[in-house]
Amino acid sequence: MMKQIIHHFNNSKNILLAAHVDPDGDSVGSLTALGLSLESLGKKITLYSESAIPAVYRFLPASDRIVRTINGLNGCDVAVILDCSNIDRVGKAASTIKQIPEIINIDHHTTNTNFGTIQLIDTWACATAEIVYRIIKNIGVRITKAIATSIYTGILTDTGSFRFSNTNESAFAICKEMVEYGVDPSYVAEHVYGPFSLGRLKLLNRALDSLEISATGKLSIMTLTRDVFEKTNTHPEDTDGFLNYARNIKDIKVAALIQHQLNGNRTEEPVSENCYHVSLRSDGTVDVAAIASAFGGGGHRNAAGFSTELTISEIKSKLLKLAETI
Ligand code: 5GP
Ligand code: MN
């Protein structure tokens, strides 16, 4: 697979790279790392993300070159889909992208559907950025500080700063190497985890206030509706990390956060009036990717999610029913 991918990259001229909607650090980092690498080989690149890039990742090199719309195929001969368990995760452009002759699927989700013409899926990789690193090494790109910062950020954020169960030996080995290429860990941490708005703290307050625990004591549910985001002047991306508090409560096995699905950029109309995004985290004993899949979503064993048009009370009662079996 690696050989085939390198062959396609070498023979292509015009490459579209896409991240998933509501991108996280791994998605953005993989996008900019691979994009800049392919550009250094003389390829024309388009970096695509339907959602606005969360403010905390805008320090990433080339993140200002990520476009939110594409008009037709523009002569792209290869598409690279990063960190997406299915192609529809790229958002509305999926139907256009599907027409690109070669679609390379690079991912580490257990729920990946094997879409595309070539797949490089490694569910043991700590992040998609780890797989991107291997490609870059194999293709012989010179790793610049900009590329290194992108890879480092992808691994740092997807491993929860080397705390989650996907933290493997390569997470440390690759990040060490990236530091040798000039990455400044404190600079990255300042941006990723650095100062945040008062509104975000108030949003956390509201999220914690909404916390409910199932009768079994094993499931926690937090709920954030659109009006709360409006009142605190915050964005969906501001909820990043909230679930860690709920998951760390003693005896909790699964933590859920139900939030109104809003487009990343709050100046836009909501995706749909009554669409919710549900994020799930597990303590390691429950496979939340399986739960998310049952609702049409996906993810990893310990971190997964789905979007739904069920009402809040329907979502809660389904989750509570599930809680009786965990
Ligand atoms: P979060 O819910 O925190 O956004 O995402 C947790 C994990 O689940 C991430 O790895 C993310 O890619 C995956 N995930 C979240 N929502 C969805 C979804 O609607 N569909 C799929 N396939 N994966 C999702
Ligand atoms: Mn990832």
Q: Per-residue pLDDT averaged across 90-101, rounded? A: 96
* Binding site membership of 281 for ligand 1 (Cβ less than 6 Å): no
Q: Which atom of ligand 1 is nearest to the CA of 300?
A: 10
136: Cβ contacts below 8 Å, ≥ 6 apart? 33, 34, 37, 143, 147, 151
Q: Which atom of ligand 1 is nearest to the CA of 24?
A: 4
Residue whose CA lies nearest to ligand 1 atom number 6: 304
d(C-alpha 224, C-alpha 301), whole Å:
24
Q: What is the pLDDT of residues 220-277, one digit of tens each?
A: 999 999 999 999 999 999 999 999 999 999 999 999 999 998 764 433 444 567 899 9
* Binding site membership of 54 for ligand 1 (Cβ less than 6 Å): no
* Binding site membership of 295 for ligand 1 (Cβ less than 6 Å): no
- Evaluate whether 2-192 and 198-323 have a shared fold: no
* Binding site membership of 236 for ligand 1 (Cβ less than 6 Å): no
| Measured CA angle at 33 (ends 239, 21), to 5 deg | 35
Res 23: pLDDT: 96
Beta bridge partners of 222: 257
Q: Give residue 75 CA to ligand 1 midpoint distance, Å.
A: 31
| Measured CA angle at 325 (ends 319, 326), to 5 deg | 85
Task: With 0.75 as the threshold, say if the pTM is over it.
Answer: yes
Q: Which atom of ligand 1 is nearest to the CA of 158?
A: 10
The residue extents of the domains of the chain are 2-192, 198-323
Q: Per-residue pLDDT averaged across 201-212, rounded? A: 98
Q: Give residue 83 CA to ligand 2 midpoint distance, Å.
A: 5
Q: How many CB atoms lie within 10 A of CB 245?
A: 15
Beta strands in the chain (DSSP E): 14-18, 44-48, 66-67, 78-82, 102-107, 118-121, 212-213, 219-224, 254-260, 276-282, 298-299, 303-308
Options 2.60.40.1930, 3.30.565.10, 3.10.310.30, 1.10.10.10; CATH for 198-323 is: 3.10.310.30
Candidates 288, 307, 287; CA nearest to 297 is: 307
Q: How many CB atoms lie within 10 A of CB 1?
A: 12
The class (CATH top level) of 2-192 is: alpha beta
Q: What is the pLDDT of residues 175-203, one digit of tens each?
A: 999 999 999 999 999 999 988 999 999 99
Contact 90, 39 (CB under 8 A): no
Contact 309, 321 (CB under 8 A): no
